[in-house]
Chains A and B, each alone.
Chain A
Amino acid sequence: MSTAVAAAPAGVAPRSRSTLTGTGALVRFVLRRDRVRLAVWTGSIVAFYAYFTFALDTIFASPVAQQGRAAVMETPAGIITGGPGYGLDHYTTGVAMANEGITWVVLALAIFSILHMVRHTRAEEESGRSELVRATVVGRHAPAVAAAITLMVVQAGIAVLSALAMVAVGDLAAVDSFAMTVGSALSALVFGAVALVVCQVTAHARSATGLGLAVFGAAFVVRAVGDMRATGGSTLSWFSPIGWAQQMRAFVDLRWWPALLSVAAIAVLLWVAAVLASRRDFGGGLVAGRPGRADARASLRSPVALAWLQQRGALLWSCLGLGLMWFATGTLLPEIGTMIGDIIADNPVAQQVFGADSSQLSVIFLNVVILYAVLCCAGYAIVMAQRPKHEESSGRAEVVFSHPVSRYRWFGAQLAMAALGTAVLLAVSMYAMWLGAVVVGWEDQTFGDYTAVVWTYLPALGVYLGLVAALYGWAPRLTGVAWALLAYTFVVGLFGNLFEIPDWAFKLSPFDWVPMAFSGDLAAGDVAVLWAVAVLLAALGFVGFRRRDLVTS
């Protein structure tokens, strides 16, 4: 009798714990497996905090420079890339950190959170690796909880180290520094929780990442538009988790309660994810798969048709998302025009910084917007030009190449579709902006002006495609180097003049060869050089790919 009583609890674990069994071991596993990746993310973000503090504290140390910066932060461009504008009348290093830094810190942390959650939940499940783990003594919710715990631990570490860096480098107030870093971390964790929810809805890791990033994009737009309506943000700003970190008003008039919004949102989202997770099957999403075609449509008969089928989804969503975003930006152009005029008229400091010619200033501002838009297209180009690499490493290329298909034909199909998609995305981005401006009656830049921008930037984007192609042909493991060129282009385009870098360093950026948009001087750039470089790189890629072994598993 007594043995039976004692045996029961030993054999069956209490129900409440059973879905979380093994979480501890998985937490250690995630930290072990991702130790390099997590260390790089942590190091980069802490370094960004430290560098940003240092730059503000040295380059913009004088009150005149600080107020010049504050004037920029009142402009729509400043609000979009910065924050709601607390403390602009006394714009010190700490205030600038909170006002401008939070958007970027949350961007980086949110991307990190989304990638981390998808990587350790849905991607593991989709690849089948999680099946091995779940077949052992591991509860149903343990992998997701382990992913969430590790994310929180790393975020907490980043927040503490970053705050210490701000205090050490800029001698900033400790409490406000911690408020800023903790608020940003919580805001980013909201997106991590969003990612966990979408991981339950869709069965594919790539869709989950895309959906997570789309939610972030929406939050970014909502915050920007909300803050543009009034200094310090309008009601709309409060609908974005990014706003919750900014509304803590660190270094100005610190309040902690907006952080509770993030905490509450995280709790609710995690609860939703848990409920959804309990209702779905392992490996499946909530949306059940439907039977597809038994026979392929007649058009699917060539590598080009296949490449189109594989890339069209990404192209459609990119066009839709970015098109809407740049359309919205277009509708803001008149506001920017008048605002810039006002600022120039009222603000001698701004005149000093930007020159008195307000029409020239709005073109400079438009060029920054174009830089962002084209960089998005460059990102698309790099991702799509790397598709052949995934086809190859997955073994699908091997299947195709055992058929009468030449290396040139297959790679040509993949690359042509990537190039076509990039061109379409660039055209959609530019014309969406034009349309947005026209809708609200702003016609300073014509359809033809935007067409010229498309034509002049096209070869610059071709350079990214060509670079990936060349790397793929000769050193397929290094295709990621193209991202370094993208980052370089961004930094040079935005801060090149500020850092006074040498001329040749400018020339390394493909965009530097493109004539300034809407300047009316199309001959200023050397677009022909870009075409030549793009074609040469792509040709190199073809030669290399024809010669080398296929990478097989």
Chain B
Amino acid sequence: MTTTAPGATPAIETHDLHKHFGSTRALDGLDLTVAVGEVAGFLGPNGAGKSTAIRVLLGLLRATSGSARLLGGDPWSDAVSLHRRVAYVPGDVTLWPNLTGGEAIDFLSRLRGKPDKKRKSELLEAFELDPTKKASTYSKGNRQKVALVAAFAADVPLLILDEPTSGLDPLMEAVFTEQVRRATANGTSVLLSSHILSEVEKICDTVTIIRAGRAVESGTLDELRHLTRSSVTAVVDGEPSAVARLDGVHDLATVADPEGTRITFDVDNAVIGQVLTALSSLGVRSFTAAPPSLEELFMRHYGDELPGGDGSTSDGGGAAGTGRHAAASEAGAR
């Protein structure tokens, strides 16, 4: 899935990136790679450090330690020259209240140097944005559209989008998806931070899940699915306690069924072969297995550790998450 040629410089590469605000560790050793031409999803709940990472990449914040490279340059010291080749859409767009949307788009395009009038009007039409209104009268969605039009109108090799569709209606989300595809068709790399999982599932090649300032999962969606669990529902004749005792089977529940016993459970994908063998010995009447949705992946990293999730334990939780990741990788390799 990853399209990087060996040895090519990634569009974005951070290694052990730290950013501390006083005693708060907003980034705590983040590793993130976006290969050239790839759409990388950047997932995490509010406060996980997504926006901080993006602001470090844009040279708005200075990293405390660790390395970050953007299109082969240093995000802090080469900010100006890098920004000729980067377009950015923040999650919460504020504009100059006395400028119209059209004026703001033109101003931003001219800062980058090569405004494309035709592309601007195409995009205005696609996003159904009225450029003659003062920014102070725009709704959140319309402000977002201004930033999106300005970003997509730029012909740049890297797009950094920080929750870009917040405030957009589903029709506009579809327009957004189409524009991202169009950009990637031209070879543009994209970093898309989001917590709309269906959006990420639809357009991203790879996903990095971040928690408490560090990456807890990363890889292609298929890889991530492989490392996790599937949900199984089956109706069997025999007594399922043997299955329940297997390593890698979780949350098994049984319900009486006219045809036998209905069992539902989650299973680690790494051990699914052994589970099938055990199941088939029970006499299977019906069987369905669903791959985990991204949402389930996501919830697995966050949902189970929510109780007691204050600042001190979330650090430990992050470490535990990484540990489990390592264990799962091992299992996957076997």
Contact = CB atoms under 8 A, between A and B. Distances in A.
Interface of A: 126, 203-204, 289, 291-297, 300-303, 305-306, 309-310, 313, 394-396, 398-406, 547-550, 552-553
Contacts of A547: 62
Contacts, number: 121
A295 B111 contact: no
B272 interface: no
B107 A296 contact: yes
Contact of B99 (A203, A309, A394, A403): A309
Nearest to A313: B98
Interface in B54-89: 55, 58-62, 79-84, 86-88
Interface in B39-54: 51
A514 B97 CA distance: 39
B113 A549 contact: no
B208 interface: no
Of all A-B residue pairs in the complex, the 4 with the closest CB atoms, nearest first, are A296-B106, A402-B88, A292-B100, A296-B103
Contacts of B108: 399-400, 403
B103 A295 contact: yes
A405 B96 contact: no
A489 to B, nearest CB: 32
Given A296-B102, A309-B98, A405 B137 contact: no
B113 A310 contact: no
A291 B90 contact: no
B94 A301 contact: no
B163 to A, nearest CB: 13
Interface string B136-180: 110000000001000000000000100000000000000000000
- Dominant secondary structure at the A interface: loop
- Dominant secondary structure at the B interface: mixed
Contacts of A293: 100, 102-103, 132
With a 10 A CB-CB cut-off, give which of A297, A305, A399, A405 has the most chain B CB atoms.
A399
Interface of B: 51, 55, 58-62, 79-84, 86-88, 90, 92-100, 102-108, 110-113, 117, 131-134, 136-137, 147, 160
Contact of B90 (A203, A302, A399, A403): A399
Contacts of A406: 79-80
Contacts of B95: 396, 399
A295 B80 contact: no
A303 B51 CA distance: 25
With a 10 A CB-CB cut-off, give which of A295, A301, A406, A552 has the most chain B CB atoms.
A295
With a 10 A CB-CB cut-off, give which of A204, A291, A303, A313 has the most chain B CB atoms.
A291
B84 A294 contact: no
Contact of A301 (B60, B61, B110): B110
A553 B90 CA distance: 11
Contacts of B59: 401
A306 B107 contact: yes
A552 B55 contact: yes
With a 10 A CB-CB cut-off, give which of B87, B99, B105 has the most chain A CB atoms.
B99
A67 to B, nearest CB: 55
B253 to A, nearest CB: 43
A294 B102 contact: yes
Given A292-B103, A295-B102, A295-B117, 8 more contacts: A300-B107, A301-B111, A395-B93, A401-B60, A402-B86, A402-B160, A404-B112, A552-B51
A399 B102 contact: no
B60 A399 contact: no
A403 B83 contact: yes
Given A292-B133, A310-B98, A549-B60, A404 B106 contact: no
A297 B99 CA distance: 11
With a 10 A CB-CB cut-off, give which of A303, A394, A404, A553 has the most chain B CB atoms.
A404
Nearest to A394: B94
A4 B60 CA distance: 64
9 contacts: A291-B132, A295-B106, A302-B111, A303-B111, A306-B96, A309-B99, A399-B90, A549-B60, A552-B60
Contacts of A398: 55, 60, 90
B213 to A, nearest CB: 16
With a 10 A CB-CB cut-off, give which of B51, B111, B133 has the most chain A CB atoms.
B111
B113 A294 contact: no
A442 B134 CA distance: 48
Contacts of A291: 100, 132-133
Given A294-B100, A296-B106, A553 B134 contact: no
B103 A300 contact: yes
B90 A395 contact: yes
B110 A289 contact: no
Contact of A402 (B58, B94, B106): B58
A550 B76 CA distance: 12
A552 B106 contact: no
Given A295-B106, A296-B107, A401-B60, A396 B96 contact: yes
Contacts of A306: 96, 107
A393 to B, nearest CB: 10
A280 B96 CA distance: 24
B111 to A, nearest CB: 4
Contacts of B98: 309-310, 313
A402 B100 contact: no
Contacts of A305: 107
Contact of B147 (A295, A303, A399, A405): A399
A310 B80 CA distance: 23
Given A292-B134, A300-B106, A549-B62, A402 B96 contact: no
A291 B131 CA distance: 9
Nearest to B62: A549
A254 B58 CA distance: 68
B208 to A, nearest CB: 21
A342 B83 CA distance: 70
A313 B96 CA distance: 14
A405 B86 CA distance: 12
Contacts of B136: 126, 203-204
B20 to A, nearest CB: 11
B173 to A, nearest CB: 22
A303 B108 CA distance: 10
B147 A403 contact: no
Nearest to B110: A301
Nearest to A552: B55
Nearest to A549: B61
Contacts of B87: 402
A398 B99 CA distance: 17
B108 to A, nearest CB: 6
Contacts of B113: 404
Nearest to A396: B94
Nearest to A408: B80
